[in-house]
A and B are shown apart, each in its own frame.
Chain A
Amino acid sequence: MAATSPLLAWRAPVYIAAGFAGVIALVILLLQPLLAGGYLPGLPTTFGKRVHRWTGFALVAAIIIHVGGLWLTSPPDVVDALLFASPTPFAVWGVTAMWVLFAAALLAAFGQRLRVRPQTWRLGHAVLALVGVAGSVVHAMLIDGTMGTLSKTLLCALVIGATIKVLYDLRVWSRITRRRIG
């Protein structure tokens, strides 16, 4: 849908790349809970979690390309957004989501070294992911961007649904109990 947007004709390549990096980030936000919960066929939780780590890395990269591309397109607008001084509220949601998702990723990368209990670590990662997802969805819905309204709404609904389902299924608020597989 985004690839056929009429807006693309009026945008420079770097702006187009930045927009698509945002779309890819939103798609990864859907993949992340599906992988963590082992919902994808052929990807049981154990293997899915390894992929989850790699797609998490890709998510951080996509966010950096998204913001970096917008920076190259219009530096003052991105400076405003990063300083929370943007005239449009969606930027505040987006920048907040970015930092929260970065925090979730950092916790995932260095959490073991913090020597916190696994359930504390998991709850922290889950809360950050949930806030990051919520911020990203509001950000995406408020903008007039390259995605079609229908496809964007659908994707956002799936992202929220999948996130809530995995947090509930894994009982992230409770102590870790190993699920017996097979």
Chain B
Amino acid sequence: MIQNRTNRRKFLATSGAVFGATLVTGGSGLLVPASAQGLAPTPTMRGGANNYIAGAPIVDRIGNGGFWMTGSVRRAGDGAPLAGQRVQIWAHTTEGHERDPHSHGATLTDENGEFRLEMPQIVPAFGRPHGHLAYDSGEFKTVFLRPIMPSAGDTSLSAHFVLEPV
């Protein structure tokens, strides 16, 4: 458990660093290779895999939409954006519980390694409004994320993956 906590802190610190780097180089949309050297892989977050269902279908939209889940997928080390990566998303929303198969869907990253999937509004469940994301395609190590929304009124949430090869 203590190990987990350290990882989580490390994750928060590294994701903050990624954000900072992205902001600095935001104009060009490219990471400066020197600053991205040694980018650490994102560890799985505690509870991230809860109510995971393997093999959710790739969809244009989960349910009736109205809420946006966004994020990016990069390679550990050089931070190169990874295109065509499958990201699975699920949450407790206005249209269903986390365990309902219709609350699950997947999407692919674009050429910039970014993904964006419309889904129903996430509502507070188990104490905080949160989403679940999984990278589980096998080419890189599987990662489960469980980002929490700062406010239940938010209509978007983002999460970022840095993957390491298997």
Interface residues of A (CB under 8 A from B): 7, 9-10, 12, 15, 70, 73-74, 76-77, 80, 84-88, 90-91, 142-145
Taking a contact as CB atoms under 8 Å apart, the answer to whether B123 and A74 are in contact is no
Which 6 A/B pairs are nearest by Cβ-Cβ distance? A143-B127, A144-B124, A76-B50, A87-B46, A87-B47, A77-B126
Interface residues of B in 104-156 (CB under 8 A from A): 123-129, 146, 148, 152
Pick from A73, A76, A142: contact of B47, CB under 8 Å: A76
* Residue B22 lies at the interface, judged by CB distance under 8 Å to chain A: no
**Known pairs A73-B97, A76-B47, A144-B152; A88 contacts B127 (CB<8 A):** yes
* In the bound complex, CA of A80 to CA of B128 (Å): 15
* In the bound complex, CA of A12 to CA of B96 (Å): 9
Interchain Cβ contacts under 8 Å between A and B, 14 examples:
A9-B94, A10-B93, A10-B94, A10-B95, A73-B97, A74-B125, A77-B47, A80-B47, A80-B50, A86-B46, A87-B146, A88-B47, A88-B148, A145-B124
The contact string, 1 if C-beta is below 8 Å from chain A, for chain B 51-62, is 100000000000
* In the bound complex, CA of A80 to CA of B8 (Å): 15
Taking a contact as CB atoms under 8 Å apart, the answer to whether A10 and B92 are in contact is yes
Taking a contact as CB atoms under 8 Å apart, the answer to whether A88 and B126 are in contact is yes
- Contact partners of B126 in chain A: CB under 8 A: 70, 74, 77, 88
- Contact partners of B97 in chain A: CB under 8 A: 12, 15, 73-74
Closest partner residue, chain A, to B48 (CB atom): A87
Pick from B125, B127, B152: contact of A91, CB under 8 Å: B127
Query: What distance in Å separates the Cβ of B68 from its nearest Cβ neighbour in chain A?
Result: 19
Interface residues of B in 72-99 (CB under 8 A from A): 92-95, 97-99
**Known pairs A7-B124, A70-B126, A143-B127; A87 contacts B45 (CB<8 A):** yes
